């Protein structure tokens, strides 16, 4: 009997010891998990409050030709930054401001800066169209003009100012310089801007939709004038070496002919289209011409140059619209008039589409900075926000600074012949000059 009682006591002790060990292990696991959760929560709160070791102070610059949507991007970056306790500053007049170290604080609580700017055209921090700091125009004491690489001054300015990231709002030239700065150790995030819609690796740039809207509105007005006076109305639009604006506005504005850089045109094809319309009783026609359009076997019409006059980015296009109008008048006998839309495409209030697009781009850019993803360009691919390496945007232009022809440009996105816009234009009878 005593043996059995003792055996039972030993069994119970072993069972207790086993249970204690089992639950002790469970308790230890809970403590470890709690610590991990606590670390995650604290890190999240720190990032939310702006205590991130990665990004505390950022700068924005707008560069290149002005577009509608600049301010919407700036606002989105600033608002997203403020949500995470990050301070924002803006360099005045693009890369030129970076070279001069001229910057201002940006805040949505300051009505003079980043507040109330969503519908406002242009850029509250200015911009520059001829400030390639890797090939910068310098006038010496003797009056002689030379071009120098002053990028190291910009690098020192960024480092001395304590900026953790530089946001570059601009087109192909701007993003090429951004890539070059990244190779010099600067954290850069690009945002694709241009009315031309020609930045590589993205489906659309901010500012483009507004430019197309302006061009389409102009075509509507030219349509009534042409119909009233039995004229050929030619509209020259911007776009440089790509035909996005010309093609899309031609479809939206009901044009009969659209001449784009990607398709060297035969003027006789345009004449055939206009004569066919006249045979049908329509004694007027609407023609859209991209500034970079050129005839078969011919060259692009150049209005002038800037800086040292060499390189793609220093060439000012324009004048092809008047040439086409004169030729069409001579060959058809119909009175022709040319309207050069020019800077009307750049200014004014952004469309709702561009406001949303710009806000998405700006917010995404700041989000990437908070994640520590630098030296990239925010893009939209297949309708989704994403980012690509600035190296991919630059493409073959790998040399830092001035590449062939003293140009600072990256790859240029042109209209592909299998694009839906091309197919649609052909399907509805728009003559593309081929």
pTM for the model: 0.83
DSSP 169: E
Count Cβ atoms below 10 Å from residue 61 Cβ, excluding itself: 29
Domains 57-207+350-402 and 209-347+418-427 share a fold: yes
What is the rounded average pLDDT of the residues 417-432? 96
Q: What is the pLDDT of residue 284?
A: 96
Q: What is the pLDDT of residue 285?
A: 97
> How does pLDDT run across 153-180, given as a tens digit for each residue?
999 999 999 999 999 999 988 999 999 9
Q: What is the pLDDT of residue 161?
A: 97
Give catalytic status of residue 142 as yes or no: no
DSSP 356: H
What is the rounded average pLDDT of the residues 287-303? 94
Q: What is the pLDDT of residue 52?
A: 44
Q: What is the pLDDT of residue 55?
A: 92
What is the rounded average pLDDT of the residues 118-132? 90
User: How many whole angstroms from its chain centre is CA 50?
Assistant: 27
User: What one-character-per-residue DSSP string does 264-297 give?
Assistant: -B-HHHHHHHHHHHHHTT---EEEEEETT--BTT
Mean pLDDT across the chain: 86
- Bridge-based pairing of strands 384-389 and 376-381 is antiparallel
Q: What is the pLDDT of residue 403?
A: 41
> How does pLDDT run across 130-158, given as a tens digit for each residue?
788 998 889 988 889 888 999 999 999 99
Rounded Cα–Cα distance for residues 226 and 282 (Å)? 10
Closest to 389 in 3D by CA, of 399, 379, 403: 379
Q: What is the pLDDT of residue 70?
A: 95
Write the class of the CATH domain 209-347+418-427: alpha beta
pLDDT at 41 over 70: no
State the pLDDT confidence band at 114, using cuts at 50, 70 and 90: confident
Assigned token pair, 314: 């220093």
> How does pLDDT run across 303-354, given as a tens digit for each residue?
876 655 554 456 788 899 999 999 999 999 999 999 999 999 998 999 999 9
Identify whether the C-beta of residue 145 lies closer than 8 Å to the C-beta of residue 138.
yes
CATH of 57-207+350-402, one of 3.10.450.50, 3.40.50.450, 3.40.50.1240, 3.40.50.360: 3.40.50.450
For the chain, the structural domain boundaries read: 1-48, 57-207+350-402, 209-347+418-427
Q: What is the pLDDT of residue 410?
A: 65
Q: What is the pLDDT of residue 27?
A: 52
Rounded Cα–Cα distance for residues 286 and 176 (Å)? 37
> How does pLDDT run across 225-270, given as a tens digit for each residue?
999 999 999 999 999 999 999 999 999 999 999 999 999 999 999 9
Spot the catalytic one: 66, 164, 180, 196.
196
State the pLDDT confidence band at 31, using cuts at 50, 70 and 90: very low
Q: What is the pLDDT of residue 411?
A: 78
Closest to 95 in 3D by CA, of 136, 146, 148: 136
Q: CA of 414: how far to CAs of 168, 244, 350, 384, 422, in Å? A: 22, 8, 23, 20, 12
Closest to 81 in 3D by CA, of 198, 164, 162, 147: 164
Rounded Cα–Cα distance for residues 431 and 434 (Å)? 8
Q: What is the pLDDT of residue 113?
A: 79
Rounded Cα–Cα distance for residues 391 and 364 (Å)? 19
Q: What is the pLDDT of residue 13?
A: 53
Q: Is the dihedral of CA 139, 142, 143, 145 positive or negative?
A: negative
Rounded Cα–Cα distance for residues 111 and 109 (Å)? 6
User: What one-character-per-residue DSSP string does 204-271 give?
Assistant: --BTHHHHHHHHHHHHHHHHHHHHHHT-EEEEEE--TT--HHHHHHHHHTT-SEEE-TTS-B-HHHHH
DSSP 91: E
């Amino acid at each position: 009997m005593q043996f059995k009682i003792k055996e039972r006591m030993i069994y119970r002790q072993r069972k207790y010891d086993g249970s204690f060990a089992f639950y002790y292990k469970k308790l230890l696991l809970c403590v470890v998990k709690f610590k991990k959760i606590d670390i995650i929560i604290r890190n999240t709160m720190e990032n939310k409050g702006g205590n991130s070791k990665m990004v505390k102070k950022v700068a924005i610059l707008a560069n290149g030709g002005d577009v509608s949507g600049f301010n919407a991007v700036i606002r989105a970056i600033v608002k997203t930054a403020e949500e995470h306790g990050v301070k924002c500053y803006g360099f005045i007049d693009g890369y030129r401001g970076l070279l001069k170290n001229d910057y201002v604080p940006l805040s949505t609580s300051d009505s003079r800066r980043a507040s109330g700017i969503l519908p406002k055209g242009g850029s509250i921090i200015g911009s520059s169209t001829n400030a390639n700091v890797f090939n910068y125009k310098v006038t010496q004491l003797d009056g002689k003009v030379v071009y120098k690489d002053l990028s190291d001054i910009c690098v020192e300015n960024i480092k001395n100012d304590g900026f953790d990231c530089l946001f570059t709002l601009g087109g192909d030239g701007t993003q090429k310089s951004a890539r070059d700065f990244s190779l010099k150790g600067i954290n850069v995030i690009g945002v694709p801007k241009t009315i031309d819609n020609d930045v590589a690796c993205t489906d659309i740039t901010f500012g483009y939709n507004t430019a197309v809207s302006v061009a389409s509105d102009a075509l509507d007005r030219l349509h009534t004038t042409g119909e009233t006076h039995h004229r050929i109305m030619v509209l020259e639009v911007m776009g440089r070496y790509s035909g996005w604006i010309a093609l899309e506005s031609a479809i939206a504005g009901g044009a009969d002919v659209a001449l784009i850089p990607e398709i060297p045109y035969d003027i006789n094809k345009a004449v055939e289209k206009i004569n066919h319309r006249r045979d049908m009783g329509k004694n007027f026609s609407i023609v859209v011409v991209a500034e970079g359009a050129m005839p078969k076997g011919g060259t692009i019409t150049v209005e002038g140059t800037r800086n040292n006059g060499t390189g793609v980015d220093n060439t000012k296009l324009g004048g092809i619209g008047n040439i086409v109008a004169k030729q069409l008048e001579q060959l058809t006998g119909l009175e022709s008039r040319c309207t050069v839309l020019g800077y009307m495409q750049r200014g004014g209030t952004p469309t709702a589409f561009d406001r949303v697009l710009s806000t998405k781009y700006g917010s995404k850019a700041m989000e990437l900075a908070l994640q520590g993803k630098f030296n990239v360009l925010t893009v939209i691919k297949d309708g989704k926000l994403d980012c690509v390496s600035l190296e991919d945007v630059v493409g073959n232009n790998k040399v830092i600074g001035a590449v062939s022809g003293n140009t600072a440009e990256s790859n240029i996105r042109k209209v592909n012949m299998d694009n839906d816009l091309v197919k649609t234009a052909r399907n509805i009878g728009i003559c593309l000059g081929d």
